Amino acid sequence: MMNFTSIEWLSAAGYFACVVFVLRRMHVSFQHKCAIDVLEARRYFNSLQQKKMEIDEEKVKFAEEAQEIFALYDMTKELSKNFSEDDSIRIFKAKLSDSVRCDECRFVLPAVEEKKTIPQAPEGSVIPLIAQQQLLGYLLLKGCSSEGLEKAAILAHQLALVVRRDRLYRQVESLAITDSLTGVHTRRYILERFHEELLRARTQKIPISFLMIDVDYFKHFNDQYGHLTGDQILRNVATIIQENIRQIDIIGRYGGEEFCVILPEADGSGAQYVAERMRQAVEKAVVKAYDTKVRLTISIGIACYPADGRKVAELIDKADWALYRAKKIGRNKVCVFGVYDEKD
């Protein structure tokens, strides 16, 4: 058996003590490192959680913005299908209710602009509709939240653009079908309407009459008083004719000093009554043209469907022939087409 001396025991004990001390230090160091790693991992995890929350918030915000964009696109697509201001406002109100909670939505024209005041919506808000620096009207909203008002303001901007487009379209359309001198319809438009009204007359089996009107001795007025006076005479005659026809009747300038009138649902006797009334009105009127006062007369020829013809060209030709007859027998006359006179 091996015997250890006291020195050897002390030496072995010291060695083990050193080993234990080193192991403890290593253990403490390892625990400290693990704690630091856990802390770093926790911090990293927290940062990931924070980023996830930020991403979720961004997603919600993006979804809301996308919803607003889609709502704006959907509304724009619907609004682009028509050129009626009333329809555009109706569509806007319907689309607005899909995106914004609002108790009441009204559109008012800027009639109060002259008073320099803005209309007030009881317990509500007012959004001016402005496009190209032009005030088009006001949107009166009631029962909207602040967030809803922001969305409504964005959509209202699109409504302003559409309302301006609709009004420009109406102006262009009016210019295209309106005679610039007299303010009545152009020849092209009156012929298009004549075709439409004649088709309706055929379908519903109702009469329709066509009047050709000519200012008597118009060339004489032009030569004696000048073209400016002649233009004023045409404007006055157009006004007198309009004042003596019904709302459903359609007046147009056929060319030069000639006018024409379509009388839906009017037979020969009815057309003759209207024509005689406008002839007398022109005869009694004193036309003021600048510093000149003149009296004038008109001659009128009448053709009726179905008695005198069944086509537009045929009725126009016969009304023109009746007008020629009215002028030949002395002017300032109303002549209804009967039969062609070979002597004429």
Residues that are catalytic? 257
SS3 255: strand
SS3 120: coil
Distance CA 262, CA 85 (A): 29
- The dihedrals phi and psi of 342, each to the nearest 5 degrees, come to -65, -25
Output the 3-class SS for 144-212.
Answer: CCHHHHHHHHHHHHHHHHHHHHHHHHHHHHHHHHECCCCCCECHHHHHHHHHHHHHHHHHHCCCEEEEE
As given in the structure block, the two tokens for residue 68 are: 């607003």
Question: Which amino acid is present at 235?
Answer: R
Listed in sequence order, the residues at least 6 apart from 176 whose beta carbon sits closer than 8 Å to its beta carbon are 186, 189
SS3 342: coil
Question: Which amino acid is present at 87?
Answer: D
Q: Tokens 């997603």 belong to which residue?
A: 59
